[in-house]
Amino acid sequence: MTETKTKTPVPGWYGSIPSDSQPEDPYSGYRELRETQPVNLTPEGQWRLSRYEDVRSVLRSHGAGMRQTNGMLPGQTVEEPGRGQFMLLQDPPTHTRLRKLVSKAFTPRAIEGWRPRIQAVTDDLLDRVADRGEMDLVADLARPVPATLICEMLGIPPEDQETFTNWTADATHGLLTVRGIGDDALRARVDSAASNLIGYFQNLIDARRKNLGDDLLSVLITAEEEGDRLDPLELLSNSVGLLIAGFETTIGLIGNGLTTLIKHPEELARLREHPEWIVSAVEECLRYSGPILASVRVLHEPHTFGGYEIPKDSEVIAMLAAGNRDPEVFDDPERFDVSRYARELSVPDHLSFGGGAHLCLGAHLARLESQIAIGTLVQRFDDLELVNDETEWGLSLFRVPGRIPIRFRANKPASSAA
Ligand code: HEM
């Protein structure tokens, strides 16, 4: 009889120490971790997986979810009613029913219908800066594109959009405070923004119930599956959750993507030669410099990865960005190649939208906005130049730039842009 022995982990950081600051290059640390300790028990007691196959496997596993087997979220000691109704914090069967209902508002067809509007918003934003020869990629493009779109999708009147977007930005920082980052002033700003947002949504939902339209909120209010609907608290949590899930992330994809392109002038030139590669280029930006570096799962049963048995109820960090550069899966993974996903041979999907039951629900929207924003800017503006060598990171749990000043020379008016 053969006995399978499991290895005993030696806790450590193995070259990749998480810190509150945003390092310019977390990837070399991830590489060291993946090469020396791909199944890693950290000194803080969480497990980290950094190989592509392990990351994909835990994300897709039916034996892992978001909550512990006692139904609590990691770190939670008492059930707090009202918190945690967002689908990303749920396991089946609650997750399955919430996701089915909310998905009705996020079909690829519904999102594709927004293409002309995304293009018009992008053209308008670029028109405003074209004569200046300089802009901040975040304030002038990466933030207003997703912010305007989500406001319009929800039917927020134009006069409220700026306040609403500022509340969203502040409330999103709540993700930091949950992780114990930030001072009392930040916590106060987050609480005030969150309660403003909830109050605003409550009024908006009440108004929509009396006068349904074809906006996102009306679709969520009426979404029905076999007689089932979202209850008022679920409707509120998932509307606010969608807003927060899609805000900084899309800013990060557009901002990091453009920064990466400017830092790789040959790839930028290849993309200009082949505008049809924009779909591939955005996938490569997600793989190479995506805004979310990791996602989390809790094991509902013991799992063995690379000979280490990880016990039930362990928190496992699926290191998306480390898996995205795994040489076992990607050819020349450290190379940024805008045509990687345009070649005929099938390239594995990147992990930047997570995977399994929780695969990002907003992926179609994020892709479309980024393809249009990045594709239009690189076709309209030449001689792109970063003013600063180092990125000024924003206040975020994710890899999201705060400001990216650039210089450029405009070459085309809006009407002839891509
Ligand atoms: C570049 C932009 C984005 C990135 C990189 C991103 C990434 C992610 C990731 C990594 C997850 C967790 C998946 C997992 O753990 O398996 C997720 C979940 C989610 N995202 Fe996104 N996201 C983006 C944009 C958006 C947008 C625009 C929306 C909607 C407006 C959105 C809505 C959601 C929702 C609702 C979930 C939870 C899905 C579930 O639990 O079933 N995301 N996203």
Residue nearest to atom 9 of ligand 1 (CA): 353
User: CB under 8 Å to 157, separation ≥6 — which residues?
Assistant: none
253 ligand 1 Cβ < 6 A: yes
DSSP string, 51-64: SHHHHHHHHH-TTE
pLDDT digits (tens, 9 = 90+) for 33-89: 999 999 999 999 999 999 999 999 999 999 999 999 988 888 777 665 545 688 999
Cβ of 216 below 6 Å from ligand 1: no
* Alpha-carbon gap, residue 325 to 48, rounded angstroms: 15
- Rounded to the nearest angstrom, the gap between the alpha carbon of residue 192 and the centroid of all alpha carbons in its chain is 24
Q: What is the CATH number of domain 27-66+87-410?
A: 1.10.630.10
- Beta strand 47-49 with 315-318: parallel, antiparallel or unpaired? parallel
For a ligand 1 pocket test, name from 91, 353, 367 the mutation site with the most ligand atoms within 8 angstroms of its C-beta.
353
Work out which ligand 1 atom sits closest to the CA atom of 296.
15
Cβ of 359 closer than 6 Å to ligand 1, yes or no, is yes
Provide the residue type at 14 as one letter. Y
- CA 324, 326, 327, 328 torsion: positive or negative? negative
Per-residue pLDDT of the chain (418 residues; tens, 9 = 90+): 445 689 999 999 999 988 755 677 899 999 999 999 999 999 999 999 999 999 999 999 999 999 999 888 887 776 655 456 889 999 999 999 999 999 988 889 999 999 999 999 999 999 999 999 999 999 999 999 999 999 999 888 899 999 989 888 888 887 776 666 778 888 888 889 888 988 998 999 999 999 998 888 998 999 887 788 888 888 988 888 888 888 899 999 999 999 999 999 999 999 999 999 999 999 999 999 999 999 999 999 999 999 999 999 999 999 999 999 999 999 999 999 999 999 866 899 999 999 999 999 999 999 999 999 999 999 999 999 999 988 999 888 889 999 999 999 998 665 544 4
CA distance 208 to 156: 11
Reduced 3-state DSSP string for 358-387: HCCCCHHHHHHHHHHHHHHHHHHEEEEEEC
Could you tell me the two tokens for 369? 């906005």
Q: What is the pLDDT of residues 320-347, one digit of tens each?
A: 999 999 999 999 999 999 999 998 668 9
> 10 Å Cβ neighbour count for 109?
7
Does the beta carbon of 255 lie inside 6 Å of ligand 1? no
pLDDT of residue 408: 97
CA atoms of 287 and 96, how far apart (whole Å): 27
CA 397, CA 22: separation in Å to the nearest integer? 9
pLDDT of residue 114: 95
- For residue 241, give the ligand 1 atom closest to its CA: 35
Task: Measure Cα distances from 11 to 34, 40, 47, 187 in Å.
Answer: 15, 7, 9, 32
> Is 295 close to ligand 1, i.e. is its CB under 6 Å away?
yes
Measured CA to CA, the distance from residue 333 to residue 90 in angstroms comes to 33
Cβ neighbors of 96 (< 8 A, separation 6 or more) are 357
Q: What is the pLDDT of residue 5?
A: 81
Whether the CB of 358 sits within 6 Å of ligand 1: yes
Q: What is the pLDDT of residue 416?
A: 47
- Residue 384 in contact with ligand 1 by CB distance below 6 A: no
Q: Which of 87, 360, 361 gets mutated to test ligand 1 (max ligand atoms within 8 A of its CB)?
A: 360
